[in-house]
Amino acid sequence: MITRLTTKDGCLPQGSPASTTLANLFLHATDHLLTTLGDSNITASRVIDDIALSGPRDDVYFAISETVQELHRLGLRVNRKKLVVQNRGRRQQVTKLNVGKKVSLPRRSNDGRLSQKRLRDSVRRAARYGLTAGERRSLEGQLCYFAQFNSPRARKLQELLRSAPATV
């Protein structure tokens, strides 16, 4: 019954309100493998359907192989175009966030995604020209997200946003 209610043509539609919950329920089976990998030299994590593995190069390739096999056992295919191995010493991103010594939003983004520069520019533009109630709520939400990674800078932008005049 749930399958019929939540799928279209046998697939879980991307963007559906139920997608995240159902994907987490289904992929919960992989969490045991990821925990086991964590007992070795590998650090493993999963956010919905994004899996990140880090550690020594040879161990990472072995972990990728094991993870792909587990996903195949579950009847899933891995999109090889999305499989990325990132080397130490270079900027590394997972789920559009910079990871390394600390997690942060990218400073710039060329693809329209949220970045520190885009957020700062939007708040400055709002402070200068004003914004609607909906635009204010959207920026407040983005600043709350940003505050998880850089609280002092987010606080300054939140103060600036509070000073922005309302428009109709």
The predicted model gives 96-106 an average pLDDT of: 76
Separation CA 145–CA 113 (nearest Å): 13
Question: Is the whole model's pTM more than 0.75, yes or no?
Answer: no
Instruction: Give the position of tokens 């910079």.
Output: 98
Choice between 11 and 138, residue whose per-residue pLDDT is larger: 138
Q: Are 126 and 139 in contact (CB under 8 A)?
A: yes
- In this predicted model, what pLDDT tens digit does every residue of 151-164 receive, in sequence order? 899 999 999 999 99
Q: Of 24, 37, 25, whose CA–CA distance to 69 is shortest?
A: 37
Distances (CA, A) of 88 to 57, 92, 100, 105: 9, 8, 9, 19
List, in order of start, the domains of the chain with CATH numbers. Answer: 2-85 (3.30.70), 116-162 (no CATH)
pLDDT band at residue 134 under the 50/70/90 scheme: very high
Helices marked H in 8-150: 19-38, 57-73, 116-129, 133-147
What integer best gives the mean pLDDT of the chain? 84
Separation CA 132–CA 142 (nearest Å): 15
Q: At what angle do helices 151-162 and 133-147 cross, to 10 degrees?
A: 160
